[in-house]
Amino acid sequence: MPVNQLETNLEAVTTTIAFLEKKGSCDPEVLELLKKERQRLLKELNVHPDI
């Protein structure tokens, strides 16, 4: 269960990415933007090393 707004957003973005990848028929630009947002959230939460 998410503790704060950043975690809630991260969960929503991650779920959306998984759904769109499974569906396989989404705009690649939208998918790339979502992945960048997920990376930003991970960095802000300090749970992902800088890449």
Per-residue pLDDT of 7-30, as tens digits, reads 999 999 999 999 999 988 788 999
Q: Does residue 29 lie within any of the structural domains?
A: yes
Q: Does residue 17 lie within any of the structural domains?
A: yes
User: Which residue range(s) make up the domain with 11?
Assistant: 5-44
Q: Does residue 10 lie within any of the structural domains?
A: yes
Q: Supply the pTM of this predicted model.
A: 0.80
Q: Does residue 51 lie within any of the structural domains?
A: no
Q: Does residue 50 lie within any of the structural domains?
A: no
Q: Does residue 32 lie within any of the structural domains?
A: yes
Residue 9: both structure tokens together: 């957003």
- 9/6 Cα distance (integer angstroms): 5
- 11/1 Cα distance (integer angstroms): 9
Please tell me the total count of domains within the chain.
1
Q: Does residue 49 lie within any of the structural domains?
A: no
Per-residue pLDDT band at 48 (split at 50, 70, 90): low
Q: Does residue 26 lie within any of the structural domains?
A: yes
